[in-house]
Structure formats: C-alpha cells, structure tokens
Amino acid sequence: MQQKGFAGIRFPSLSYTCRSRLLERSDSFDGTLPLLGKILVIIVGILLPVALAFAAAGHLPGTTWPVIALGATAFTLMAINLVMAARLPGIDAMFDGLDQVYWVHKWLGMLILTCAFLHQQIKIATDGLQVMAAISELAIQVAEISFYLMVFLVLISFFKRVPKMPKITWEIPYGIWRQSHRLLGVVFLGIAFHQFFVKAPFDNNALLAYYLNGAAAVGAAAFLWSQFGFLVRRRAYKVTAVTKHPAATIVDLEPAGRGVSVRPGSFAFVKFSAKGLGEPHPFTVSQVRPNGGIQFSIRGLGDYTRHLRDALSVGDTAKVEGGYGRFHHHRGGPKQVWVAAGIGVTPFIAWADHLKPGDAEQICMIYCIRNEAEGVALDRLRAAAERVPGFTLKLHCSDTDGRFDAAKLVSYLPFEIAQASFWFCGPAPMREGLVKDLKASGKVPRAIHFERFEFR
Ligand SMILES: Cc1cc2nc3c(=O)[nH]c(=O)nc-3n(C[C@H](O)[C@H](O)[C@H](O)COP(=O)(O)OP(=O)(O)OC[C@H]3O[C@@H](n4cnc5c(N)ncnc54)[C@H](O)[C@@H]3O)c2cc1C
C-alpha cells in the first residue's frame, strides 16, 4: 500500500530510512572505521572457525571436517550476532552506525541459518545413525529444537511481510517481534549446550574446542547484557514541555540526574511513565541544550507515536538510552548538501542549532514539506541561516513547487554537487530516486550519507 510521504509525495512504506554509507570516500577520519566490523566478522566468524575445524578434523575421512566447519561457523556467528545486538559502546563505530550494525546482523542471521541447515543435513546424509548413536542424544535433540525455533524466528525477522506479495501490508507488530526475537538468545544457549555436550570427533584439547567454548561465553555474556544492560544504560528525565505542532509532537526533557551523552544528529531510545508509553522507541534528538536538556520531534506514524500526542504531559518522567548513531555532518567536508524530507528534518535541526557564524563550511539545506505549516522548527532553521553566512536554507513545498527531484535539487545549489557531500534524511524511495537520477545525469556527489530509520 502506498503511504502519504513526508513531503506530500507517495511512498510505498511508512517507515523512512536514513543511513550512512560511503559512496566514494570518507571526507575525514572521525573515529569511524566502517569496514573494521565487517572484516572482523569475516575473520573471527568465518575464517578462524573453518581453519580451526580443518586443524581439528581435516585428517578424518569423508565430510567430517566440512560438517564441523559449518557448525562451528554457525555457532561463532551466532555469538557475534548477540554481541552486535547488545548495543555495546564502540560497535557502532566499527560498522558506521547502529542501523548498519542491525543490517549486518540481519544478513548474518540468514547465513547462520544456511550453515546450521547444511551442518545438520550433511551430517545426517553422510553419517546417519552410526554417528548419531555415538553422541549424546540429548545434545542432538536440544540442537534440533533450537534449530527449528531459530528457523522460525529468523524468517519472521527477515520477512516482516509475506514476501513478493506487496498487497499484503500487515506486518508483525514491533513489540511482538521484539519479544520473540529475544528467544534467539535462548536458542543460542541451547546450541551452546549442544556444542558442549555433543560427542565431537576431535580432541577436547583441540584449539577449536577452546574457541567454541570462548564463543559460548562471549555470546552468553552479550545476551545477558542485551537483556539487563538497560539497568545501567538508561537515564531518568522529566518532561518539561509538550508542544503539538501540526506535523509533530515536540517533547522537551530535562535530566533528573546525570543525562545521556548525545551529539547533534544522535538518536536515543526513550520511554515514558505515561500509560501506554512504556515501550522504548528510537528518536533522533532534535535539540541538544547546553544544560543537558534534550528535545525529540515525533511524528505520529503508528499506534505509539499517535497515542503519545495526547497521553504525554508536562511532569511525566522518561527513561532515555543513548546516544547512538554516526550521522554527524562535521565529517562532510567544505561543501555540503543537506536534504530533509518531512520528519527526517530532526537531525538537521540539531545540526543547524550548533552552527556558528565563523564555520568554514558552505552548506545548502533543502527542506521538503507539503506546505510551510508542516515545517518543524522553521524559526530555528531560519535563525541559523541568518546567523551563519555559510548556511543557506531552501524550503521546497510540494503543494506549490511540485515534486522534488534531482534536477530541482541541483538547481537550488550555489555550488556544483560533484564538489559536495550529500546528507539525506527522509523516505528511502525518495533517496534512491534522487541518487539514481543524479548518477544518470553524471552529477555524483563526493559522498552520500544517510541513516536507516528502521532496525528490522
Ligand atoms: C534511528 C531512528 C531515528 C528515528 N528518529 C525519529 C524522529 O526523530 N522522529 C520521528 O518521528 N520518528 C523517528 N524514527 C521513527 C520512529 O522510531 C518510529 O516512527 C516509531 O518507533 C514508530 O512507532 P509506532 O508504534 O508509532 O508505529 P508502528 O506502526 O508500530 O511502527 C512503525 C515501524 O517503526 C519501527 N518501530 C516500531 N516500534 C519500534 C521500537 N520500539 N523500536 C524500534 N523501531 C520501532 C518498526 O520498524 C515498525 O515497522 C526514528 C527511527 C529510528 C530507527
């Protein structure tokens, strides 16, 4: 089903995405090593288990060592996936953002499933009952139950709707999906039990045995941290203002003690004490105040965000966890294009607030909305444009200016887009269309940055 988009344009899905990705090169080093995480996953999760499986069982006949390699790879990747889901500090820098962490996590889930399936099938096909009788039946049974549970959980995460049937728009509600996804930690513990007690055809002193026991310990610790880490990660805040803007509910918060550490462009998970608002949801911090106060600008896109508009009041308490994300324009070089569509404006508002008159960058921001009434924080964006000579703001109102496209984007810029980095936050189809058309016309920005506004 097509949904009314943020700038009055129709898009196929409600959720808009925003993700950082280096198109050609990164402009400057800011502690982000986007390839490091993926390289580590390949070395630690695939190459090492395969090599250690070969060392432990390469001398055995038949398919023994590939079967062990497949099982060891699936298990190590599961441990890595639990680490990636635990929101540990530094992990997002290795993947260039938490959204990227979750994207890799999702694809690893499919790889794990494939390895586990092949491990099981090849073993049964080649060794049959002969080896089955020699190993712990319980460990085998636990692994089988865990495997089928994993198949179910991974598939519902991967295909949130029925694949290839765009007309079926119902998807598993996020809360139910989140609770069910937690069971993957229990699946991991079941597989750890299997790997520990199954009678393996290699020595207990083989390096592989130590490696897998280490993976079990790391995965279990990560699972515990992901379930209970919020006890130390969440900070208490008080709601000091709730403003009902036509396009968003603007919520101001002050820390009740030590607040979270956020930068303009970061996002945080927030939940409120008001009835029905107890589930943490991610929102970009649209204002970072010097006293530690923060602001969220929240568009009513679903049950929670619509309910919040009426249910939240001044004096309510909030629990905030963050800040996360690597969507920070200071690594964008001397010329930058910022394109915001609808509520995708939130990181740009926080950035614009922090621009100073002496900043050397030349920045052109284009804000796509249906009409001026829909503009969130227009006063602050205009104040930034007056205060900072290098910052220009262009409003694109689709009601009067028509559809926003690559040609209009280029025409608004006071410099060549090929010299600039491109920062986008808005619906994914809009971004994909712009980038495709820019490429087709040979006007490719130096780098493209966006961040996924969806984790599943
Ligand atoms: C990094 C990030 C930053 C965001 N910043 C903003 C912002 O500044 N302003 C804004 O209005 N919106 C923002 N969003 C989107 C916002 O989180 C969703 O619109 C909101 O959670 C939807 O909840 P709902 O129950 O109202 O809608 P639903 O219709 O229930 O959910 C719509 C979609 O939102 C996602 N979602 C729902 N609940 C959760 C949850 N608890 N945790 C994670 N994802 C969930 C799911 O993908 C779901 O398919 C951001 C999202 C992300 C990931």
Question: At residue 340, does pLDDT exceed 50?
Answer: yes
Instruction: Please state, in angstroms and rounded to a whole number, the distance separating the CA atoms of residues 431 and 423.
Output: 10
What was the pLDDT predicted at 165? 60
Nearest atom in ligand 1 to 279's CA: 41
Region 311-338: mean pLDDT is 93
Q: pLDDT digits over 174-228, tens only?
A: 878 888 888 999 999 999 999 888 877 777 789 999 999 999 999 999 999 999 9
| Portion of the chain with pLDDT greater than 70, in percent | 87
Does residue 343's CB lie within 6 angstroms of at least one atom of ligand 1? Answer: yes
What was the pLDDT predicted at 404? 96
Nearest CA, atom 49, ligand 1:
174
Does residue 177's CB lie within 6 angstroms of at least one atom of ligand 1? Answer: no
Region 430-434: mean pLDDT is 94
CA 158-159-163 angle, to 5 degrees, is 145
What was the pLDDT predicted at 380? 98
Q: How far is the CA of 43 from the centre of ligand 1 (A)?
A: 33
What was the pLDDT predicted at 405? 96
Region 222-238: mean pLDDT is 92
What was the pLDDT predicted at 374? 96
What was the pLDDT predicted at 453? 72
Region 50-70: mean pLDDT is 90
What was the pLDDT predicted at 26? 34
Q: How far is the CA of 25 from the centre of ligand 1 (A)?
A: 30
Question: At residue 436, does pLDDT exceed 50?
Answer: yes
**Sequence letter at residue 351:** W
Lowest-pLDDT choice from 91-100, 142-151, 405-414: 91-100
Q: Closest by alpha carbon to 334, among 426, 425, 414, 237?
A: 414
Instruction: Please state, in angstroms and rounded to a whole number, the distance separating the CA atoms of residues 367 and 5.
Output: 14
What was the pLDDT predicted at 163? 57
| Confidence bin at 136 (pLDDT 50/70/90) | low
Question: At residue 445, does pLDDT exceed 80?
Answer: yes
Instruction: Please state, in angstroms and rounded to a whole number, the distance separating the CA atoms of residues 224 and 150.
Output: 18
| Confidence bin at 33 (pLDDT 50/70/90) | low
What was the pLDDT predicted at 138? 84
Question: At residue 11, does pLDDT exceed 50?
Answer: no
HEC string for 359-422: CCCEEEEEEEECCHHHCCCHHHHHHHHHHCCCEEEEEEEHHHHCCCCHHHHHHHCCCCHHHCEE
What was the pLDDT predicted at 3? 37
**Alpha-carbon torsion 335, 339, 340, 344, what sign?**
negative
Region 341-366: mean pLDDT is 96
Does residue 305's CB lie within 6 angstroms of at least one atom of ligand 1? Answer: yes
Region 82-103: mean pLDDT is 86
Nearest atom in ligand 1 to 248's CA: 11
Does residue 425's CB lie within 6 angstroms of at least one atom of ligand 1? Answer: no
Arithmetic mean of pLDDT over the chain: 86
More confident position, 289 or 177: 289
